[in-house]
Chains A and B, each alone.
Chain A
């Protein structure tokens, strides 16, 4: 997926100022930095071209387009393999496993040939629960990630493009949402909505959980997208489109958004991670969807079933491990995207490595210091 999207980014090997280190999940909990940080890294990125030129020789050696692709390095391949494996498990697992709420099994059985991951206190097969739970969590993650992305574009790109009073208002809203801690809001909304009479079965469905998670988690993407949109709107081709009489909506969707694709992909992936983690926390507290099984509701069952106290590790370790693996896999894909958006992250370590090798071979000028 990342391959295709980054291919559409023609000048990504050289420069894409404004998109800095803050775009990736490489921040505290993937938290986007404040607006100041975005400005900071925009400043930092102006030196990118010099670095890119310095290693142009290396790129040429490997073929003209090598620098444009996310390198098929360990990170990208590992990330895609992990995410694909978990997705396949979530899609195909439920087809082969026994029904997840079939209690015709011995209770609290440790992993064995009959039940690969053992059984729960109620005799549910953990493997089957895990397969259905993965599916449920992925669904929530995708829906919430999509909702957050749409809202992030609405608040970020529109604010960055239009500027002026619209920017002031949208940015103020974004910053307020950004500093109000998300999970407590989600908990409060969930507690009200889930006990309302009017909603019927929707009140405790995974769709509603996903919507609540999406609505509360878009602010980070909006900050990042706004910084980039602001830098794009001053480009000549955008000015040309405006002079040619294009409508603002068309400029945003045809001229600006395609250039934001790597960033949008990164923000979407980050949104999915955040939603899967958020769902796990929410469900663990008993505020998750009741109709469907997710990784979070599994952990909630394990908590109420005293899994930790009785040493039934096979009950609570696998769901958390899947969440951690999924998050790690998605983050690795994000790294590959980030190294395209911000080439410095990729080129600088390579240059340092080459320099160090040269020094070792006796060809270098320095034998110590910052660059050796």
Chain B
């Protein structure tokens, strides 16, 4: 039980650190983001003075209230957060940041989640096979995967768009669904889901192609290491079938580090996907982040950063729980 307690404690501390980082960055780095943000909001509001409520929200989130101590600002910041108030966006004035994020989040979670699971499973299965057949021509796959690993996500996306959308015209170029067919926005119908899936194929392919090399290679190397363990020799000597040794003995043990690294690798997938969404104009959280950063919409940027961090933390936490279940040793060794 202490394993789970330790994990919960760790994630609580990390959660607190992420929020505090979010609080400190605009206050400690040079510049006055609150003033910039208020200026932007005034312009978005066509020059009319902003409501007292909006001004308070922005200063609570981005700081620089004259005369208040950092500690009071910190408490005010937490108060805003606990009410779910992330301020008002200036690029999409007057939409609240929280609404924009909740509209965008499902797109990214479904796309990145599905693509990552596909890539992970494929990488583990193929990696186990390549590791099993070590010393054959399959070893030459190893250097090839490095090329895939080193390709920037967004560049691969550009190339895929250039080939499949611009040249061949098979897939749509931009967007998460057909905006002309569904002018009213997302709806629950088969036609809409079909359109969304059709639009998601190229982005998902990008994620799978860019991330599979890492899983494959990690699994292959662990498989090679595991195959020289004594218990594999014992299993072979006992006369177990190669299939049984491969699946029940070697693969299971070799996949443990890949599972342990899953959460951390997820951070890289999320980072790559943020940039990739720009290429496809995908209506997800990455596009929102980019919009915020380019328009100096600091309130939106802070909100998106917080949500991305918390989502990645949650995914890590779930993975840790599963990992503790799969590998009892970590539960006992702490």
Contact = CB atoms under 8 A, between A and B. Distances in A.
A25 B149 contact: yes
A205 interface: no
B194 interface: no
A99 interface: no
Contact of B229 (A44, A299, A320, A332): A44
A102 B21 CA distance: 43
Nearest to B162: A308
Interface in A159-212: 172, 175-176, 178-185, 187-193, 195-199
A293 to B, nearest CB: 17
A192 B29 contact: yes
A56 interface: no
Contacts of B222: 21, 41, 44
Contacts of A180: 14, 17-18, 21, 267, 309, 312-313
Interface in B84-140: 123, 132, 134-136, 139
B325 interface: no
A118 interface: no
B318 interface: no
Q: For chain A, what secondary structure do more than half of its interface residues adopt (helix, strand, loop), or is it mixed?
A: helix
B135 A34 contact: no
Contacts of A369: 236, 242, 245
Interface stretch (A60-68, A254-262, A345-353): A345-353
A172 B13 contact: yes
Interface residues of B, number: 98
A188 B301 contact: yes
B227 A370 contact: yes
B296 A28 contact: no
Given A29-B211, A41-B257, A331-B150, A349 B242 contact: no
A36 to B, nearest CB: 5
A90 interface: no
Interface in A139-167: none
B161 interface: yes
A296 to B, nearest CB: 8
Most buried by B among A40, A335, A342: A40
A107 interface: no
Interface in A46-69: 47, 50-51
Given A21-B218, A44-B229, A273 B264 contact: no
A277 B242 CA distance: 41
Nearest to A317: B159
A17 to B, nearest CB: 12
Contact of A324 (B147, B232, B246, B301): B147
B293 A287 contact: yes
B162 A311 contact: yes
Nearest to B235: A370
A21 to B, nearest CB: 4
Contact of A323 (B33, B151, B159, B257): B151
Interface in A85-131: none
Interface stretch (A227-235, A243-251, A278-286): A278-286
A71 interface: no
Identify which of B21, B214, B293 gathers the most chain A CB atoms within 10 Å of its CB.
B293
Given A75-B143, A349-B134, A316 B261 contact: no
Contacts of A178: 264
B71 to A, nearest CB: 22
A348 B152 contact: no
Given A324-B150, A327-B150, A193 B30 contact: yes
Contacts of A323: 150-152, 155
A273 B134 CA distance: 27
Contact of A281 (B146, B154, B265, B333): B154
Contacts of A21: 218, 221-222, 225, 257
A5 interface: no
A284 B278 contact: yes
Contacts of A305: none
Interface string A20-45: 11101111111111101101110011
Contacts of A330: 150
B135 A349 contact: yes
Nearest to A179: B316
Interface of B is mostly: helix
B267 A308 contact: no
A248 B23 CA distance: 37
Contacts of A16: none
Contact of A345 (B221, B257, B260, B302): B221
Nearest to B311: A181
A157 to B, nearest CB: 20
A328 B151 CA distance: 9
Contacts of A316: 155, 158, 162
B53 to A, nearest CB: 25
Contact of A183 (B261, B263, B274): B274
26 contacts: A27-B261, A29-B269, A36-B327, A37-B257, A40-B260, A51-B228, A176-B13, A176-B18, A178-B264, A180-B17, A182-B267, A183-B275, A188-B302, A188-B305, A189-B25, A195-B31, A198-B31, A280-B154, A308-B158, A313-B162, A320-B151, A328-B146, A344-B228, A368-B242, A370-B235, A370-B250
Interface of B: 10, 13-14, 17-18, 21, 25-26, 29-31, 33, 36, 123, 132, 134-136, 139, 142-143, 146-147, 149-156, 158-159, 161-162, 166-167, 173, 211, 214-215, 217-218, 220-222, 224-230, 232, 235-236, 242, 245-246, 250, 256-258, 260-265, 267-272, 274-275, 278-279, 289-290, 293-294, 296, 298, 301-302, 304-305, 308-309, 312-313, 316, 323, 327, 330, 333
Interface of A: 20-22, 24-34, 36-37, 39-41, 44-45, 47, 50-51, 74-75, 78, 172, 175-176, 178-185, 187-193, 195-199, 220, 273, 277, 280-281, 284-287, 299, 302-303, 308-309, 311, 313, 316-317, 319-320, 323-328, 330-332, 335, 342, 344-345, 347-354, 356, 368-371
Task: Give the top 8 A-B pairs by smallest Cβ distance, nearest first.
Answer: A327-B150, A196-B31, A28-B265, A320-B155, A183-B271, A353-B135, A28-B214, A352-B135
Given A41-B222, A316-B162, 9 more contacts: A25-B146, A28-B215, A44-B226, A180-B17, A189-B29, A320-B156, A352-B227, A353-B134, A370-B227
